Structure 1
Amino acid sequence: MRLAEMFERLAGADAPVRFRAYDGSTAGDPDSEVAVVVRHPAALNHIAQAPGALGLTRAYVAGYIDVEGDMYTALRALADLVLSDRPTLSAGEMLRIVRDIGWVKFVNRLPPPPQEVRRSRLASLGLRHSRKRDAEAIHHHYDVSNAFYELVLGESMTYTCAVYPTPQATLEQAQFHKHELVARKLGLAPGKRLLDVGCGWGGMVIHAAREHGVKALGVTLSKEQAEWAQKRIAQEGLGDLAEVRHMDYRDVPDGEYDAISSIGLTEHVGKKNVPAYFAALYDKLVPGGRLLNHCITRPRNDLPPFKHNGVINRYVFPDGELEGPGWLQTAMNDAGFEIRHQENLREHYARTLRDWSANLDRNWDAAVREVGEGTARVWRLYMAGCVLGFERNVVQLHQILGVKLDGTDAHMPLRPDFEPPAL
């Protein structure tokens, strides 16, 4: 069997991309702007050992499969094949391929690429979401390289969904708009105290101090993030107002903050820990204080339990978990918060990811020099796949605003006045 025949069985004879392989065979649409290229027989080992998205990801990250042209365009054309976690060949079809191509190519097991998290390593650190294991999961994703993140994220160094005030807004304008939107929802003003949990490289902390005169503390489990953020704070002359510490949010003292921003942390907490997470943040607020929770969500609350062995968990977010917005809002409410506002920013995250992908493609050679081709490939595939996920409503992004009542007073405006002025 020529590999082109195998491709046609997987993707269909009318696949909307070009295909070619090391054996010289070709298939698909010869006029397509993107091509899938099998460069080495080892690609077959990965696909046979893990049919579906995981095997294809391993083969791509290892360099045995390539995509020529735009990754997003290729994934969109082959979304049902590439984004599915179910096996794409029946047992009978696999046996025929094994017989036709050669048994030895399938029985020689290959280890996953080094970019895949060793699940045994995580298990050795304790139960999911223990302190040591959380620290390792955060280290895997966020301590890749500050220089690499600068290439991908741009000047703002903000690794969360931006908010685009207009279709023409740049990534930097949209990240500023997002930080300002959060600041307004939290009612930030000079003299107030902000805690930003999971603060990343300090974008929200810096914005709150610079634009609103707030005394802001950010905490992160990433040592590299904290060091980078402290240098940026010093460069901007904000050391008297802003600080980022390398510490666990659970170690922050209670009852000291007027506002808390949780931007992109809830995904790392784990469903069983979410109620305790919101309860802990509630305790850290003064009466009348506000919490803005900004996180990736699932589109419904009644979906099957979140999978921990998929591609994203293995390569990008170890131990990450997503829940529905209604479930999260209920958990906040049960922790004591009065819910005052929520919105879905799904389309904004798709646009954010497209801008990050464009940055990576534009800086590809520098990115490869910084982190190696395998890691750069993980990011290229992951971000393009996530664009599709947000576009197709596989995932969403919600901001939920809650207040810790001061008796019965929420200290909120009669009508929302959150939206920053247009650019």
Structure 2
Amino acid sequence: MVMQAMSEKVLYASKVEALVQERPDIFEVLWPEDLLDYTIMVIPRSVKKFSDYSHIRRYISNRYLVFINSKGMGHVKLTIVSVNTRDNIVYMPIDSFDSTWRYLKASINKSIQQQKEQSIDCHISRPEDLVDLSGLYRQGSTVSIKNDRVVYSMMELSQQEQKMLSARDELLSNNENLYFYAVQGNRYHDRDCFAVKFIDAKDLRASSQKPENLCACDKCQRRLLMRKATSINPNQVRAIDNHFFTPNALTDKQLEKLVEEYGFLFEMLDQRTLKVFAKEDSWVIRKYGDVYTLFHNNYKLVESGRSLTDGYHDQNVRSESLMVIFEYIHEYSYEKHIEAVKCKRKNKALVNRWGFVGMAVVKVKRRLRRAQRNRTSKYNYYKNNFVTQQQYNKTIDKMIKAVKTMDSRDEILEYMESLRR
């Protein structure tokens, strides 16, 4: 009972509960004594700007972290922190850490003392053992905690070391450089990858082309692909990845296919509109709810081929899958448009010649072409009398082939009658 009375969870439970009820967001509460089971990683900014965020975001959840100032008036306060539930890591921006560490340190010291009194083995001897400062590493500086705040100290460097650091900064500041690696390393990295910070200045190399015989870093590969795909506007790397290319919408392998194989470039116009540059065409993808709608750049036909004009038109392609949209963009060609124009003229002639019957055949052909286009997508169109996808595909091909070859009225009527049987 005595130890329970000393626990901050027991002493301040009601006050913390009242504070949580006043907040608009409902998060779980993390107490200082709970931090004994976590690592506190101090980072320069928000965890969303962390280089590994794309790989860990599925495990990130927000928590209310309690810190207690026993000498202040409002001595129980809450701050929001991000927690990696898989690896038991609490991410704290440096400003938040500096303002709360002295209070957290006092509470953690009490928890360590309680465990010693209960003869419980504690894996740390002081609160600082929980803190990981590797995320703040800078070449040429050392980082430490002094007077309950994070402090950088400059290392004494020779002229040669200063030149190396200057050359390193030039490599990192050159936007043309995409791939960073060590001379004796076996992987290449994005400029913001943690691993780059630990490569010695004398060993760091960079290039705009993918290095041969090197593998991609697992942690920063996605960010590197996004940086290459958003070369039109490099500042949109994180925005596009967060709003459109979430892991559920687009896997790393799919993104690699779009960037490396298809050569797509992306630009975000707003939070629900994405512009795609593919070959000589540009496209706009707009998201309405869970459905993506595709628009294509306008153009007019000229003797030499076509001439692009302003604006976009609805391509009549909609899907809940981004990859279905991207595959359509990749397979599109101007030649297919010419075929569509010829088919349109032929259908018009068929309607003029046969009237209502010709119009009915044109509608059948359009529906069959639409079904043929959609059958390769994730959302297939099945008929009740077709048992399997293979049977459906064969029937569609047969119907299209038959209708395209018909020009006489008798043939059309006989075929339409056979479909009714």
Normalization by structure 1: what TM-score?
Answer: 0.23
- The higher relative CO (CA closer than 8 Å, separation ≥ 6) is in 1
Bigger strand fraction: 2
- The structure with the larger Rg is 2
